[in-house]
């Protein structure tokens, strides 16, 4: 999954990026509200971590602009403020959840997983498709209980497909959601990841829909 972090405090931004990358996400960062607004409006993100106290453009204004433009990705707001009215303002502006600084990184990761699951209509941290189970808490996948050995990018492709199982996903969508913005993207590598995954998964689980993309199909 691809996550946008909009946080102006350099140390916290770096900590968030490190933790999210370790959790198998592709991560982009912005250090002010103006850049964050542009990136969130122009990029494809599965979730956003948004600080409220930002230079240039405050987090509430950024969020209102996104929602006004029809951007509906899940947003977790961060605030160092204890005032309940500012948390309410964030929710009213379109936030999906909030954390007050300081916080435990494990809680932030868990809340993001929940937001991404709910956005895809999933209730459990373990997503199943026939014999395939992806444990989003631990970044692991199994088939009939046997662990799969996956590279980081293979896991990201598989995780995105299972979050959107039975949907046709284009190569362009996969590229947008498995790579960070500054990564040297090559859509042809998606075919390589799909080919590798097919060797590790039961036959027919990943379908090619000619001219459109790929679909992780629930077995009958």
Alpha helices in the chain (DSSP H): 10-22, 33-42, 59-68, 84-93, 105-119, 152-163, 171-178, 188-200
pLDDT digits (tens, 9 = 90+) for 91-114: 999 999 999 989 999 999 999 999
Name the DSSP letter for residue 219.
Answer: P
pLDDT of 133-163, one tens digit each?
A: 999 998 999 999 999 999 999 999 999 999 9
Q: Show the tokens assigned to 37.
A: 């607004």
pLDDT reading at 181 higher than 90: no
- Which domains does the chain carry? 2-119 (3.40.50.2300), 126-216 (1.10.10.10)
The beta-carbon contacts of 84-90 under 8 Å, at least 24 apart in sequence, are 86/52, 89/60, 90/52, 90/59, 90/60, 90/63
| Residues whose CB is less than 8 angstroms from the CB of residue 179 and which lie 6 or more positions away in sequence, other chains included | 2, 26, 185
Helix (H, G, I), strand (E, B) or coil at 120: coil
How far apart CA 18 and CA 20 sit, in angstroms, is 6
Chain segment 55-102, per-residue pLDDT in tens: 999 999 999 999 999 999 999 999 876 667 778 889 999 999 999 989
């Amino acid at each position: 999954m691809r996550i946008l972090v909009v946080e102006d405090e350099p140390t916290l931004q770096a900590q968030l990026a490190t933790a999210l990358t370790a959790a198998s996400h592709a991560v982009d960062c912005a250090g002010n509200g103006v850049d964050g607004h542009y990136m969130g409006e122009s990029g494809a993100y599965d979730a956003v971590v948004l600080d409220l106290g930002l230079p240039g453009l405050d987090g509430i204004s950024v969020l209102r602009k996104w929602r006004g433009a029809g951007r509906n990705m899940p947003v977790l707001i961060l605030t160092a403020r204890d005032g309940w009215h500012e948390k309410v303002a964030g929710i009213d502006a379109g936030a999906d959840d909030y954390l007050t600084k300081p916080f435990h990184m494990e809680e932030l990761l868990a809340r993001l997983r929940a937001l991404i699951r709910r956005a895809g209509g999933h209730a459990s941290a373990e997503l199943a498709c026939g014999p395939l189970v992806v444990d989003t808490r631990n970044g692991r996948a199994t088939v009939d209980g046997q662990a799969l050995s996956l590279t980081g990018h293979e896991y990201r492709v598989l995780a995105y497909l299972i979050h959107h199982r039975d949907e046709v996903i284009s190569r362009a969508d996969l590229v947008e959601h498995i790579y960070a913005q500054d990564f040297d993207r090559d859509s042809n590598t998606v075919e390589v990841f799909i080919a590798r995954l097919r060797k590790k998964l039961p036959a027919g689980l990943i379908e090619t829909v000619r001219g459109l993309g790929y679909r992780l199909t629930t077995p009958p």
